Amino acid sequence: MNKKWWNNSVVYQIYPKSFNDTNRDGIGDLNGIIEKLDYLKELGIDVIWLSPVYESPMDDNGYDISDYENISKEFGTMEEMDRLIQEADDRGIKIIMDLVINHSSDEHPWFIESKSSRENPKRDWYIWRDGNESGSSPNNLRSIFGGSCWEFDEGTGQYYFHSFSKKQPDLNWENPHLREEIYRMVRWWLDKGIGGFRVDAITFIKKPEKFIEEVSDGVDGLRVVKPNQPGVGKFLAELKKQTFAHYNIFTVAEAPGVELDQLAEYSGDEGYFDMLIRFDHVDLDMGEDGKWYTNNKWTLVDFKKAISKNQEAIKGNYTTALYLENHDQPRSLNRSIPKEDINERSAKLLATSYFFLKGMPYIYQGQEIGMTNIEYSTIESYDDISTIDQYNAALEAGYSKEKAMSFVYRRSRDNARTPMQWSDKENAGFSEVSPWLQVNPNYKEINVKKALENKNSLFYYYQNLIKIRKNPTYVDVLMSGDYEELFKDHLEVFVYLRQLNDQKLLVITNFSNKDVHLDLNEKAKQIVIGNYEDTPMLDGEVMVRPYECMVYELD
């Protein structure tokens, strides 16, 4: 593997709105991030993925951009952004920006022009169509956030297309002038010296050749829009060639719809991006069409299968984003551990389960202190556009309010968006005023201050995991060692082996509250890490206690 600066990096994702408020408006800001850089340095991360901070009406919290080359007033100024890049650099931390180029905001000047008349030169920068013969939407595609993908514009008598909310019109990638302008903007950011991009929803940029009527998948007569349409590769190749390829950076793409046998085309040195964010292991509970009320039951075996099929596909020089949480997912503790068993030990188990896999580990803000899901009593307390939509969809499909709320509790994106819990002070130390989204009441027990005071805390456990990923003894086996899953059908434990030449690491994680006896036929030379104080040595067999995890270097 040819070495790159980011090969061995660990990424920390910041959702700026919820990270740290310094100017008392209840909203996190860039200065708030600068203030916490030393904290992140102490954790040991190398890269910050910053969710969008560009100018935005905040319909989707910044994923609806009205000016790609400006910073939203809520978050700060471009000078502060430049200072953040510099201050992070001074600490050896690189910033990667979120690149949202499938759509803009409907308040972007491009869209305002596009909408102004059918003759406007920017008309074709977005996707406009006439209604069908009966005068309604061109077809029955459903947007990701609910309702038709088509929104009627009175002024010009046509419909525009949006894969997400109607305030996020899709850019028309077929237009070469639009593409040029995007590439110029991307280079402008890269010239600032950022470390790269997390690329948002990128497989949506190619629309179906013909917008034909689809067979409905729900009670609304619509069918959800499908990403990764044939022909998308042409745009992705050009994007890379005109931008990323000229910089010493990395890109990580959210690329829904990409199949595992397409990894070589989409990732790695020759692919469109350096690595992909896969959803297999976080979407286990979701039905085909992404509705929260189509709740699939899953077991640890399903989870292991989802992980292993990815691990097996990224052989050789390929890598992937390893993660349990992000701003679109519920907290991992609630997903994988029964409520009564959520504690620091089970949180360390979860951390261990993914940190030794092949790929680049990502930590989402608050994960390192074990933050958990929120349950607001009314739907009005929720902010997320997708939560409101899914709640209404559940009601329309005939579920009771209580049932609809239970889907929200399980899946709402606000679960991960509650303010970061810095201390047991009012508003969890996130802000001196009431925050934009209510804090999780458990901040008195779960907070950074408390974590830093206890040498055995989850925070220091993550710090150790990061140290192990960087330890010269383990760096190669962790980066490029083979992956092999053991006890595949076991419903309580997830066990895997990483091996490079003679060196073998064995990772054992017990996802149950029972003792599990394992016959392994292996002898350990050393304990690498564990979440009980007295991790037993492995000699042929081992008894793994409730929620115990351990990593051995084998003889």
Binding residues vs Ca ion (CB under 5 A): 21, 23, 25, 27, 29
Q: What amino acid occupies position 280?
A: D
Q: Alpha-carbon torsion 220, 223, 227, 231, what sign?
A: negative
3-state secondary structure of 254: strand
Catalytic (active site) residue 384: no
Q: For residues 336 and 549, give the distance between their C-alpha atoms in angstroms, rounded to a whole number.
A: 15
* Interaction of residue 318 with ligand GLC, rule CB under 6 A: no
Tracing tokens 């974590």 back to the chain, one arrives at 451
* Interaction of residue 368 with ligand GLC, rule CB under 6 A: no
Closest approach of ligand GLC to the CB of residue 328, in Å: 5
Closest approach of ligand GLC to the CB of residue 408, in Å: 16
Q: Closest Cα partner for 352 from 505, 229, 219?
A: 505
Burial class (CB in 10 A: 0-12, 13-18, 19+), 259: exposed
Q: Which of 74, 328, 492, 548 binds ligand GLC (CB under 6 A)?
A: 328
Tokens representing residue 260 in the block: 């595992």
Question: 522 is in the binding site of which of Ca ion, ligand GLC, none (Cβ under 5 to 8 A by kind)?
Answer: none
> Closer CB to Ca ion, residue 29 or residue 368?
29
Q: Which of 30, 100, 306, 321 binds ligand GLC (CB under 6 A)?
A: 100
**In the complex, which residue's CB is closest to Ca ion?**
29
Tell how far CA 509 is from the center of its chain.
Answer: 23
Tokens representing residue 343 in the block: 């504690």
**In the complex, which residue's CB is closest to ligand GLC?**
63
Question: 384 is in the binding site of which of Ca ion, ligand GLC, none (Cβ under 5 to 8 A by kind)?
Answer: none
Q: Alpha-carbon torsion 356, 357, 363, 368, what sign?
A: negative
Q: Which of 194, 201, 222, 551 binds ligand GLC (CB under 6 A)?
A: 201
Q: Within a 10 A sphere around the Cβ of 463, how many other Cβ atoms? A: 16
Closest approach of ligand GLC to the CB of residue 98, in Å: 8
Question: 80 is in the binding site of which of Ca ion, ligand GLC, none (Cβ under 5 to 8 A by kind)?
Answer: none
Set 55, 200, 344, 414: catalytic member: 200
Closest approach of ligand GLC to the CB of residue 200, in Å: 5
Question: 325 is in the binding site of which of Ca ion, ligand GLC, none (Cβ under 5 to 8 A by kind)?
Answer: none
Size of the site for ligand GLC (CB under 6 A): 9
Which residues in 48-77 contact ligand GLC (CB under 6 A)? 60, 63
3-state secondary structure of 30: helix
Strand partners, 14: 50
Which residues in 163-192 contact ligand GLC (CB under 6 A)? 164
Angle between helices 458-470 and 344-355 (to 10 degrees): 20
Question: 59 is in the binding site of which of ligand GLC, Ca ion, none (Cβ under 5 to 8 A by kind)?
Answer: none
Closest approach of ligand GLC to the CB of residue 180, in Å: 22
Closest approach of ligand GLC to the CB of residue 64, in Å: 7
Set 254, 328, 344, 414: catalytic member: 254
Tokens representing residue 555 in the block: 């003889």
Catalytic (active site) residue 181: no
Closest approach of ligand GLC to the CB of residue 512, in Å: 32
> Closer CB to ligand GLC, residue 141 or residue 493?
141
Q: Alpha-carbon torsion 444, 446, 452, 455, what sign?
A: positive
User: Helices (DSSP H) in 384-446: which residue ranges?
Assistant: 385-396, 401-411
Given a contact cutoff of 8 angstroms between Cβ atoms, the answer to whether 332 and 326 are in contact is no
* Interaction of residue 384 with ligand GLC, rule CB under 6 A: no
Question: 200 is in the binding site of which of Ca ion, ligand GLC, none (Cβ under 5 to 8 A by kind)?
Answer: ligand GLC
* Interaction of residue 466 with ligand GLC, rule CB under 6 A: no
Closest approach of Ca ion to the CB of residue 431, in Å: 7
> Closer CB to ligand GLC, residue 164 or residue 496?
164
Strand partners, 286: 295
> Closer CB to Ca ion, residue 72 or residue 251?
72
Calculate Rg over the CA atoms of the chain. 24
Q: Closest Cα partner for 354 from 249, 432, 469?
A: 469
Q: What amino acid occupies position 431?
A: S
Q: Alpha-carbon torsion 466, 468, 472, 475, what sign?
A: negative
> Closer CB to ligand GLC, residue 204 or residue 376?
204
Q: For residues 457 and 211, give the distance between their C-alpha atoms in angstroms, rounded to a whole number.
A: 54
Phi and psi at residue 32, in whole multiples of 5°?
-65, -35
Residues that bind ligand GLC (CB under 6 A): 60, 63, 100, 164, 200-201, 254, 327-328
Catalytic residues: 200, 254
